[in-house]
Amino acid sequence: MAESNAEGKTTYIFIYPTMSDISRITKAIVEVGGHTKFNDADEIRRKDVDIFLPKTIADADRRMAQTAVALLLRCFNKGVIRIHSPISDPVLRLMLEKEAAKMGTKDRLDFQPTSAGQWCLAIGFHQAETISVDVSGWTARINGSFETRISPAAPVITFAVACAVAKLFNWAVFENNIQAFEEWDFCLLRLLVGKHDPVPTNEHLDLGKIAILGAGALGSAVAYILSISDWSGQLDVIDYQLFEEPNLETCIFADIRDVNMPLRKALSIVNRLQGHKIVASERQCRVNAGDAILQEKRSVFVSAVDNPETRTILDTVNSDVLINAGIGGTKQDAGVVLWTEHGNGRQTLSSLYHTATAEEAESTAVPEEFRDKCSRADYRGVSLALPFAGLAGGSLLTASIYRKAIGSSREESFLQIDLLRKQQKITLQ
């Protein structure tokens, strides 16, 4: 920008984007991929993607396609998403157009493709040399399909698609296809890996009274999953922050209009859940140790924050179960998702975290909270967050809410999954 002073001399003022305005995904590509320029990393995200659907389209296929489009529009900032469907499906088209409208990018959808490129997803069936995804009951199947399937749970739909998109992103952006066609089954209800018989879900369950602390990537993911379920319940969304521009990519439930206003994150979730069986309320406040809001009786309290300091004050929440999730955000742990559960005599959440000293804050080593594999870290003032990691974390959290509602429990209370490498369950001691 140029300005002229009183003497007629021209002064050039260079305006640089603030770190908070830079895409978290672009930052992740710089950090993980070793790129030195943001523009180069941003250009790498320009990809056309093809989604292939089965001959007979069930509602589960529509929901998987909806979730895939939501993630792909965020992971790949430019390029066309081509929808290959053997039949015309007006219901599916409307669902996908609504997801694209949330990003302000309806023009990126092509419902009459005449060609296909390298980056492809097959939904609801298996296609050779294509990353494929299918679901049945509480089981997600990556790079395979079910001969017959039972009605899937909402968290399984989102988790399965998150895993598949992670593989596609890893191949297309990070040029790593070693595990692209790895076959992987995972039951979110039983935390079971490998081939097994899927178990059914209760589609009309009352989840009880729930609180989510944090309406960012993880909290937004939980709300999105609840919105595509038929479950009922009461949900308090606790967050005082406004949207920032990069939140549109990291928060899968966010709408471009809410981000541009900007609206409070929690209020945006509450507004988007109107008309659903989940009755949501905004609790606009900053939470401190001992606050009354932590002592309100609830079935489940969800920690969806991205800083260790807040997690250290949640041990005394008045809930039957405290659940927590974190996603990696450095070169060492990008793609890592962690789920933990607390209460009933299990290790406390605060014991996993500590407040960093000044020396540790200046250190370039992996932060302490990531040595505990439970959190995200700031990278030069901007938290890195890959959308599929946030959605996978939200899926694990929502499955935990369901488990509490049906009175089921698991021995495991620590679970880690690496979405960018070999997808497997790692139980932490």
CA dist., res. 31 & res. 420, Å (int)? 14
Query: Within a domain: residue 5?
Result: no
DSSP E strands in 145-241: the ranges are 184-187, 192-193, 206-213, 232-238
CA dist., res. 134 & res. 204, Å (int)? 22
Say yes or no: 164 and 307 in one domain: no
Mark 284-301 as b/e (b = at least 16 C-beta within 10 Å).
Answer: eeebeeeeeebeeebbbb
pLDDT of 252 reads 97
Say yes or no: 259 and 331 in one domain: yes
Say yes or no: 365 and 305 in one domain: yes
- Residues with Cβ within 8 Å of 43's Cβ and at least 6 positions away in sequence, in order, are none
Beta bridge partners of 193: 186
Of the candidates 116, 100, 101, the residue with the CA atom closest to the CA atom of residue 48: 116
Residue ranges of the chain with per-residue pLDDT less than 50: 1-7, 9-19, 356-373, 375
Q: Among the three residues 193, 226, 261, which one is the final residue of a domain in this structure?
A: 193
Look at the chain and report how many structural domains it folds into. Answer: 2
Cα dihedral 58, 59, 64, 66, rounded to 10, equals 120
Query: Within a domain: residue 24?
Result: no
Say yes or no: 253 and 318 in one domain: yes
- Residues with Cβ within 8 Å of 145's Cβ and at least 6 positions away in sequence, in order, are 124, 125, 126, 132, 134
Say yes or no: 231 and 261 in one domain: yes
- 88: domain CATH number is 3.40.50
pLDDT of 107 reads 96
Say yes or no: 277 and 170 in one domain: no
Q: Among the three residues 166, 193, 220, which one is the final residue of a domain in this structure?
A: 193
Say yes or no: 216 and 114 in one domain: no
CA distances from 352 to 180, 288, 313, 340, 414 (A): 32, 18, 12, 10, 11
Of the candidates 357, 224, 260, the residue with the CA atom closest to the CA atom of residue 367: 357
Q: For the chain, state the CA radius of gyration.
A: 21
Say yes or no: 221 and 119 in one domain: no
Query: Within a domain: residue 8?
Result: no
Query: Within a domain: residue 26?
Result: no
Residue 381, domain extent: 206-427
pLDDT of 31 reads 79
pLDDT tens, 140-191?
999 999 999 999 999 999 999 999 999 999 999 999 999 999 999 999 999 9
Looking only at the bridges linking them, the beta strands covering 278-283 and 232-238 are parallel
13: its two tokens: 């003022």
pLDDT of 36 reads 66
Say yes or no: 214 and 188 in one domain: no
Say yes or no: 353 and 375 in one domain: yes
pLDDT of 296 reads 96
pLDDT of 21 reads 65
Query: Within a domain: residue 35?
Result: no
Contact 405, 206 (CB under 8 A): yes
Q: Among the three residues 140, 158, 193, which one is the final residue of a domain in this structure?
A: 193
Say yes or no: 296 and 394 in one domain: yes
- 290: domain CATH number is 3.40.50.720
Query: Within a domain: residue 32?
Result: no
Say yes or no: 383 and 239 in one domain: yes
Query: Within a domain: residue 339?
Result: yes
Query: Is the sign of the CA dihedral 163, 166, 168, 170 positive or negative?
Result: negative
* Residue at 188: amino acid letter: L
Query: Within a domain: residue 33?
Result: no
